[in-house]
Amino acid sequence: MTRLIFLGPPGAGKGTQAEVLANHWSIPHISTGEILRQAMKERSPLGVKAQSYVDRGELVPDQLVQDLVEERLNQPDTPSGWILDGFPRNVSQASFLDELLQKRVPDGVSVINLEVPDEVLISRLLGRGRKDDTEEVIRRRLEVYREQTAPLIDFYRERQQLKSVDGNQSLEKVTAEVQKLVDP
Ligand code: ADP
């Protein structure tokens, strides 16, 4: 049973690794960024509410993402395990997840922190060319990461759930290292 959270700055490769490993373990890959992008494309009520935040590189309000994560983790494909990518992104989301999981997950969750130097991140993000990947928005997303998401590294380290992986290596090498840490 694998329940995994990917931590790391934008551009660290969370989405790529989560996709590969979710396939490998046959468990769902839950990306809050993907769910929000889909909602924005469809202009659903969630998408309309999220749009201006995503466009500016700000975090979408906690309540919106927490509701969507709770709903997603209630789907019938989740009891076999899951990989969360892009959530939690601040301490209050992490506390919310804790409470949510205490209700249904007796054993723990692993947290993988992907470490990548800033200059590598920026060039990866600029190369990706997504709508929210302009230089100004990227800079803001990295700032938001440092201010709000990076504190989660200590949050999970103190609880001995954190494992760090050098994300500045080939895709395959990163996958192999995560795999070895999660099911040795
Ligand atoms: P990246 O990994 O490049 O930051 P994501 O696809 O994870 O990209 O997220 C894109 C955007 O979606 C974020 O910049 C943010 O606006 C919004 N978002 C995604 N997940 C969350 C979350 N857990 N809390 C708040 N906003 C989020």
How many A from CA of 184 to the centre of ligand 1?
Answer: 30
How many A from CA of 34 to the centre of ligand 1?
Answer: 8
Percentage above 70 pLDDT, the chain:
98
Is 141 noted as a catalytic residue in this protein? yes
| Residue closest by Cα to atom 3 of ligand 1 | 10
* 184 belongs to a structural domain: no
When pLDDT is averaged across residues 164-171 and rounded to a whole number, the result is: 97
For 12-129, list the strands marked E by DSSP: 29-31, 81-85, 110-115
- What is the tally of structural domains in the chain? 1
The residue with greater pLDDT, 131 or 165, is 165
C-alpha 117: how far from chain center: 18
How much is the pTM? 0.94
In terms of residue numbers, what domain contains 108? 2-178
Q: Tell me: the pLDDT tens digits for 59-106?
A: 999 999 999 999 999 999 999 999 999 999 999 999 999 999 987 665
* 70 belongs to a structural domain: yes
* 136 belongs to a structural domain: yes
Work out which ligand 1 atom sits closest to the CA atom of 88: 23
When pLDDT is averaged across residues 107-135 and rounded to a whole number, the result is: 91
Distance (Å, whole) CA 152 – CA 156: 6
* 134 belongs to a structural domain: yes
Q: What is the CATH number of the domain that holds 111?
A: 3.40.50.300
Considering the candidates 72, 89, 124, 163, report the single residue annotated as catalytic.
89
Collect all residues with Cβ–Cβ distance below 8 Å to 69 and sequence separation of at least 6. Answer: 30, 32, 84, 87, 97, 100
* 183 belongs to a structural domain: no
Q: What is the mean pLDDT of the chain?
A: 95
